[in-house]
Structures are given as C-alpha cells and as structure tokens.
Amino acid sequence: FLVIPRPGQADVAVANPFRARRLAGFPLDVSSSQIRSRVKAGLPVEHLVPAGVAEAIRNNRLYL
C-alpha cells in the first residue's frame, strides 16, 4: 500500500500483515470518499483529480 497523509492528519500505523510506504512532499486535502460522493451526486471532480483520472472516472462510469 502507498499512504499519502492528508494535511493535519496524524501518522497512523498500518495493521499487520500489511506493509506500506509513506509518501511525503505533496499532501492532498481530498479523500476518495469525497470524490465518490461528488461523482454520485453528478458534481464535477476535475478540480480534485488530474484530467486523466477525471476522464477515466467518466468513461468507465466509476462510482455511480
């Protein structure tokens, strides 16, 4: 697993037997739950994810 901390979030241990690498340098202030909720509500997500990701979500009808 890759873990990207959100701004202001405390570091959380990953449960055994899982291992994770933590990435630093670009904390994101958005959650996957937020993205899924917006897509389900028909709201845009282009300002939250890269253009290619937004396109993949649309083209594959993800989170609907």
51 vs 10, more confident: 51
For residue range 31-58, what is the model confidence (pLDDT) as tens digits? 889 999 999 999 999 999 999 999 999 9
**Stated pTM of the model:** 0.61
Give which of 31, 58, 29, 53 is closest to 42, Cα–Cα: 58
Contact between 18 and 3 (Cβ < 8 Å): no
Which strand (E) or helix (H) includes residue 50?
Answer: none
- What is the pLDDT, as a whole number, of residue 38? 96
- What is the pLDDT, as a whole number, of residue 27? 66
CB hemisphere CA count around 8 (13 angstroms):
2
- What is the pLDDT, as a whole number, of residue 54? 94
